[in-house]
Amino acid sequence: MTLDFDFALRLLVAGILGAVIGLDREYRAKEAGYRTHFLVSLGSALIMIVSQYGFQDIIKESSVTLDPSRVAAQVVSGIGFIGAGTIIFQKQIVRGLTTAAGLWATAGIGLAIGGGMYILGISATVLTLIGLEALSLIFKRLGMKSYMISFSTDNKDILKAITDKFNTRSYTIVSYQVEKQGYKDSIIYQVTMVLKSKKHYDEGHLLSLLQEFPDILVNSIE
């Protein structure tokens, strides 16, 4: 009975720690939120418990050679499939890497709690949150932020003016793609641009720059 209570406590603590990390991702509007992280941590803890205690009767048999730790080891491989689903590569911008790494760390935390290492799991949770929040604030000005904008216009001459505008505004154009839509006199130019900047402007700053050109229709800014 005491052992069952300990198992339930491990699952509860693992789920709470996973949900805490997931709340940070949910607040950032990322692909995986608190429910995903909760389930990943809970499932990892459950598998770790089964790995430790689920094969006790079989291990006692002298004719059986078994390594129960191999069950828990498969969590690391399995979580890779979930993490890969959160990574998006589009127009030379890779998104979701931090969320995927967070899921991987959450699985490790679940394994630690499932193994009864509460201090280790809680410490890893605190360090994960520090890595997600504190480090991004400390080193915010050192990295470059990527933006992807999409707009359309029927004025071909304005395209060069837009690129010149961004090149003089602390932006670097990484990728530039133009697609023609329509025929003859009704041609629409669909433009997708990937920009990088050392200054971490928000999307509103990009929108204000684009609104200086009345002949364009902004589709999206990411």
Pair (173, 134) in one structural domain: no
Pair (17, 127) in one structural domain: yes
* pTM for this predicted structure: 0.67
Q: Is the pLDDT of residue 119 over 90?
A: yes
The 10s digit of each residue's pLDDT in 157-210 is: 788 888 887 777 677 777 778 888 777 667 888 888 877 776 666 677 777 777
Q: Is the pLDDT of residue 61 over 70?
A: no
Domain count, the chain: 2
Q: Is the pLDDT of residue 139 over 70?
A: no
**d(Cα 56, Cα 74) in Å, to the nearest integer?**
19
Pair (123, 158) in one structural domain: no
Pair (154, 87) in one structural domain: no
Domain boundary (98, 113, 138) is at: 138
Pair (97, 9) in one structural domain: yes
The 10s digit of each residue's pLDDT in 91-109 is: 555 667 778 888 888 999 9
Pair (18, 56) in one structural domain: yes
Looking at residue 65, what is its pLDDT? 62
Spell out the residues 6+ positions from residue 69 whose beta carbon is closer than 8 angstroms to its own: 51
Pair (24, 131) in one structural domain: yes
Pair (160, 129) in one structural domain: no
Pair (22, 54) in one structural domain: yes
Pair (14, 47) in one structural domain: yes
Pair (89, 188) in one structural domain: no
Domain that holds residue 12: 2-138
Q: Which pLDDT band, with edges at 50, 70 and 90, does 64 fall under?
A: low
Domain boundary (89, 111, 138) is at: 138
Domain boundary (110, 138, 166) is at: 138
Q: What are phi and psi of 120, to 5 degrees?
A: -65, -45
Pair (39, 115) in one structural domain: yes
